[in-house]
Copies of this chain bind each other. A is one copy, B any other.
Amino acid sequence: MQTLTVALADRSYPIHIGAGLLSRAELIAARLPQNKVAIITNTTLAPLYLEPLSRALEARGVGVMTVLLPDGEAHKNWETLNKIFDALIENRCERRTTLLALGGGVIGDLAGFAAAVYQRGVPFVQIPTTLLAQVDSAVGGKTAINHPLGKNMIGAFYQPLAVISDTDTLATLPDRELAAGLAEVIKYGLIRDAKFFDWLEKNMNRLVAREPEALAYAIERSCSNKADIVAADERETGIRALLNYGHTFGHAIEAGLGFGNWLHGEAVSAGMVLAAKLSQRMGLLARHDVTRVIDTLSRAGLPVAAPEFGIERYRALMGHDKKVEGGRIRFVLLKRLGDAFVADNVPADALNEVLGKQSARV
């Protein structure tokens, strides 16, 4: 087991990464303010992971209740959140009852936001079971639900007591979801860790083949990058915005296709290619580097060509993004591979050119 720390003063917490951690109940039990937890999970994951986790906790004298939610991003909304509140209130859960988010990004976002606002905040633990959640959404305290008019529009910055990433859970992950997680892994290399990007280029085959050591290393290095950024800028007033590399385009792609058609990581992959092309168009990135980005994403099994919505529709779709400030769209661009920055002065013609031929190769 590897353990990293997200350094946030009195709200610092550990990220544990390794095999077999679901049954290591002491990692959770030691942090509970009260011997009572509510496991929030979904109907797909419950048959796989609920019993080992709850049995291990109960063996340590922890009272366990379970809230079973429907599976899928379509359910990341107020109605599902309310199911959690109903169950917590009916079971008289108090301010020291700890919520355990057992699942992927949707479960983590829902359970985390429920923890942030139930009785104005109760403790919670992230137990991510997808690669995407283990390297990204479970780390850093962003929680949210979707609103009919926008993704992640309602949420909170709310840090967990701990993140417990059991790499065994990746064995059952569908290929498409593994690839979607790799998109965010590659992102860390691109925005601030050139050596990691080199490693990813060399080891992508091992990751796609799910070699446990390679996956564990990629998760650890990803979490380490994210932990650094979150510690420096918890509420995204500065450097944390770099984590949105590829996401302004990606969110537009997700919204344009209708949420749920492409996975988040798939949209981000195509979005990162657009952002790399925009960086090239701005005279920052060499054509060769854009090719390296595209090839690495391709080898991870990810889409690299964005849908052809046309310039106007892309611009409209990006207008609702949270990264808008003062009516101006801000883009995260690359100075070079491994070094990103926020640009708020992208000329319209550069953007239009990239959006207008987004399905072409460089």
Residue A85 is within 8 A (CB to CB) of chain B in the complex: yes
* Interface stretch (choices A187-195, A208-216, A256-264, A320-328): A320-328
* Interface stretch (choices A90-98, A220-228, A291-299): A90-98
Residue A121 is within 8 A (CB to CB) of chain B in the complex: yes
> Would A144 and B156 count as touching, CB distance under 8 A?
no
Question: Which residues in B have their C-beta under 8 angstroms from that of A147?
Answer: 85, 89
A96, closest chain B residue (CB): B325
Of the candidates B89, B117, B322, B324, which one forms a contact with A320 in the assembled complex, judged by CB atoms under 8 Å apart? B89
Q: How far is the CB of A273 from chain B (nearest CB, A)?
A: 27
> Would B153 and A121 count as touching, CB distance under 8 A?
no
Residue A142 is within 8 A (CB to CB) of chain B in the complex: yes
Q: How far is the CB of A301 from chain B (nearest CB, A)?
A: 31
> Would B118 and A154 count as touching, CB distance under 8 A?
yes
A78-B82, A89-B149, A156-B121 in contact; A322/B95 too (CB < 8 A)? yes
Question: Which residues in B have their C-beta under 8 angstroms from that of A150?
Answer: 89
| Residue of A120, A154, A235, A320 with most partner-chain B CB within 10 A | A120
Q: How far is the CB of A77 from chain B (nearest CB, A)?
A: 11
Of the candidates B34, B78, B92, which one forms a contact with A319 in the assembled complex, judged by CB atoms under 8 Å apart? B92
> Would A156 and B153 count as touching, CB distance under 8 A?
no
- Identical subunits present: 2
Question: Which residues in B have their C-beta under 8 angstroms from that of A157?
Answer: 120-121
> Would A154 and B320 count as touching, CB distance under 8 A?
no
A119, closest chain B residue (CB): B322
**1/0 contact string of A106-123 vs chain B (CB within 8 Å):** 000000010011111100
Q: How far is the CB of A186 from chain B (nearest CB, A)?
A: 25
Question: Which residues in B have their C-beta under 8 angstroms from that of A235?
Answer: 120-121
Chain A residues within 8 Å of B, Cβ to Cβ:
34, 78, 82, 85-86, 89-90, 92, 94-96, 113, 116-121, 142-144, 147, 149-150, 152-157, 235, 319-320, 322, 324-327
